[in-house]
């Protein structure tokens, strides 16, 4: 087993009466990508803020170690080991991209020559050479995000926190960001990634934890999580409200979506189960206007875990 880059036990944080994190355990082995997945307001950003020393955890929390250093007793050593790129860009908009990079080099106490070299190398790598002499406030969203990450990498951090790094980016910029994130791990860094996009977590992460209402609802590899919902579902859509209602009575297991007149029936997609559904519909004399079979994807897991309807939370997939 590798050493842990991040180990947090019983992470708690509340603002007044509002509990944001309610006892979260996290362990991330070195050199892996860990994704914290959850809907807006689940507490993802709060977790990043605590782990990156920006805010303090509540006193009831257990031990938290990042990069091998204790977060409470030795925050400066943690800071020396990490890099953070937040959801909102952390660049100085008043100065140019290059000046932002040199500012980081100075704050990491690189020599002048070394600082210039590092800045030039990263500007090149992130395709920012042409814009280097322009004020960062004039950059597009994708450029700002790249500059932001480039600044984070000046200090060659061993643990990198990326808080929703692709939120608000167009598809091409998102894919570019994915390529960059994979390169970071190839270079030996550990990446802690938060996202609300299942596709992103599925694509990148070695392990995924689903955060909902301040608790980890499930944790595992993408495949392990998908196995939580054994068979995906069959979706039936109707145009006739009367047919929809009688189908709903015939199939009491179905989750109803009254707005779009659709039913979701848990199913493993096998011929036998499918025939059962069709037989039931035939017997009731209703015909669906559309029938689709969904094999399970992370979306199903996500909805199941975060609305608490189909799978009782919290569920923990045994770590292997």
Judged by the rule CB under 8 A, the positions of this chain that interact with other proteins are 52-56, 76-77, 79-80, 82, 84, 86, 88-95, 99, 103, 106-109, 135, 151-152, 155
If the CB atoms of residues 53 and 118 are measured against other proteins, the closer one turns out to be: 53
CB 132 within 8 A of CB 96: yes
Q: Classify residue 156 as left (phi > 0), alpha (psi -120 to 50) or beta.
A: left
Using the minimum distance from each CB to other proteins, give the nearer residue, 53 or 190.
Answer: 53
Q: Assess contact for 42 and 217: CB atoms under 8 A.
A: no
Q: How far is the CB of 140 from other proteins (least distance, A)?
A: 16
**Based on CB atoms, which residue is closest to other proteins, 18 or 320?**
18
Contact 233, 294 (CB under 8 A): yes
To other proteins, the closest distance from the beta carbon of 4 in angstroms equals: 20
Residue 312: burial class (beta carbons within 10 Å; 0-12, 13-18, 19+): exposed
Of the pair 162, 261, the CB lying nearest other proteins is at 162
Beta-carbon count within 10 A of 252 CB: 6
**Min CB(211)–other proteins separation in Å:** 21
Of the pair 94, 319, the CB lying nearest other proteins is at 94
Q: How far is the CB of 79 from other proteins (least distance, A)?
A: 4
Strand order in the sheet with 159-163: 82-85, 159-163, 190-195, 33-37, 207-212, 215-220
Q: How far is the CB of 53 from other proteins (least distance, A)?
A: 6
Give 194 or 212: the residue with its C-beta nearer to other proteins: 194
Closest CB 158 distance from other proteins, rounded Å? 13
Query: What secondary structure letter does DSSP report for 261?
Result: T
Of residues 211, 280, 246, the one with CA closest to residue 50: 211
Q: If you ran DSSP here, which 8-state letter would residue 199 be given? A: H
């Amino acid at each position: 087993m590798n050493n842990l880059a991040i180990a947090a036990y019983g992470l708690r944080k509340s603002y007044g009466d509002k509990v944001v994190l309610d006892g979260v355990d996290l362990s991330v082995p070195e050199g892996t990508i860990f994704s914290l997945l959850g809907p807006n307001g689940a507490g993802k950003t709060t977790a990043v803020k605590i782990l990156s020393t920006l805010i303090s955890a509540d006193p009831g929390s257990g031990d938290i170690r990042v990069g091998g250093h204790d977060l409470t007793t030795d925050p400066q050593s943690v800071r020396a080991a990490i890099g953070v790129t937040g959801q909102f860009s952390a660049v100085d908009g008043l100065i140019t991209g290059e000046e932002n990079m040199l500012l980081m080099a100075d704050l990491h106490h690189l020599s002048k020559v070394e600082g210039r070299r590092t800045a030039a190398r990263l500007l090149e790598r992130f395709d920012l050479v042409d814009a280097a002499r322009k004020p960062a406030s004039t950059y597009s969203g994708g450029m700002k995000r790249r500059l932001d990450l480039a600044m984070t990498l000046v200090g060659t951090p061993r643990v990198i926190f990326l808080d929703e790094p692709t939120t608000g980016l167009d598809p091409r910029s998102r894919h570019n960001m994915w390529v960059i994130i994979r390169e970071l791990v190839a270079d030996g860094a550990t990446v802690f990634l938060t996202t609300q996009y299942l596709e992103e977590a599925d694509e990148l992460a070695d392990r995924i934890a689903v955060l909902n209402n301040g608790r980890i609802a499930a944790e595992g590899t993408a495949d392990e999580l998908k196995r939580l919902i054994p068979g995906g579902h069959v979706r039936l859509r109707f145009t006739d409200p009367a047919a929809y209602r009688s189908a709903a009575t015939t199939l009491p297991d179905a989750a109803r979506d009254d707005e779009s007149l659709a039913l979701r029936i848990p199913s493993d997609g096998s011929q036998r189960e499918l025939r059962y559904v069709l037989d039931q519909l035939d017997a009731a004399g209703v015909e669906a206007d559309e029938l689709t079979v969904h094999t399970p994807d992370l979306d199903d897991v996500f909805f199941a875990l975060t609305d608490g309807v189909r799978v009782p939370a919290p569920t923990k997939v045994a770590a292997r």
